[in-house]
Amino acid sequence: MDDKDLELRNLTYRRFVALGRAPEPEELGPRDEVLAGWRRLHEAHALVLDGDAIRMANPFSAVATPYRVLAGERWWYGNCAWDAFGICAALDVDGRIEYRDVAVEVRDRRPDDESLVFHCLVPAAQWWDDIVYT
Amino acid sequence: MNLFRSGEPRPEGGETITVTALCDLAHAWWGDRLAPDWRPHTREQNQAILDRLGLTGNFWRLS
């Protein structure tokens, strides 16, 4: 990843957090240049595209998922349970994670319900084979 | 990658860790994601995070 792509990646993340949603290419610069950069970042696993749109800027999801996260006075979607906690981590704030009928608060980097467990089905070496499924 | 209540049926296969361990993992893995000086983690750095948190064994090997 060269410096230009790194700058685009960081700009994309900053705008995602500022807007509370994935930015459109035109919001970051010339559409063709931004899309070309996003495609390189997608190949580098620095974000995930669905066509010309951002699908994931991990840990943030650009689309609705079962993992809702209240963090930084805004609701977000996480791509999975790991990412849901990752949103609190990335924003460096406390938060609340909701999934189905489960709700867990994160305070000072600790979950308030330690009876819950996290199940990971796909082995680590295969996570990026199909990151949306993972 | 889902949350379950303790004792709740889970899909066969895979690995299960406590939500406390998951929270530690999330902070180690994603905590720098918005840092102005963020750089991509190398595979070795990510593997070191897993190892440090006791997530060892073939299942947790990134390659």
pLDDT 10s digits, A51-98: 999 999 999 999 999 999 999 899 999 999 999 999 999 999 999 999
Confidence of residue B62 (pLDDT cuts 50, 70, 90): very high
User: Taking CB atoms and an 8 Å cut-off, how many pairs form between chains A and B?
Assistant: 140
Q: Are residues A8 and A49 in the same domain?
A: yes
Q: Are the beta carbons of A117 and B62 separated by less than 8 Å? A: no
Q: Which of A52, A72, A3 is nearest to A62 (CA)?
A: A52
Placement of tokens 């700058």 in the chain: A7
Last residue of a domain, one of A57, A78, A95: A57
The shortest C-alpha distance from A44 to chain B (Å) reads 9
The ipTM of this complex is: 0.93
CA distance A71 to A88: 6
Say whether A117 and B34 touch across the interface (CB within 8 A): no
Give the count of domains, chain A: 2
Question: Where would I find the H helices in chain A?
Answer: 3-19, 31-43, 81-91
- Cβ A97 vs Cβ A103: under 8 Å: yes
Whether residue A49 is found in the same domain as residue A112: no
Note whether A32 and A78 are same-domain residues. Answer: no
Query: Which residues form the domain of A27?
Result: 3-57
Do A81 and A124 lie in one domain? The reply is yes
pLDDT at B32: 96
Residue pLDDT, tens place only, B33-49: 999 999 999 999 999 99
Neighbouring residues of A106: CB distance < 8 A, sequence distance ≥ 6: A85, A88, A94, A95, A96, A97, A112, B23
Residue A59, preceding bond cis, omega within 30 degrees? yes
Interface test with A, best of B10, B33, B62 (most A CBs within 10 A): B33
Same domain assignment for residues A8 and A48: yes
A2-31 residues touching B, CB cutoff 8 A: 6, 9-10, 13-14, 17
pLDDT tier at A128 (50, 70, 90 boundaries)? Answer: confident
B42 in contact with chain A, both atoms CB, cutoff 8 A: no
Give the pLDDT score at A13: 97
Residue A130 pLDDT > 80, yes or no? no
List the beta bridge partners of residue B16.
A119
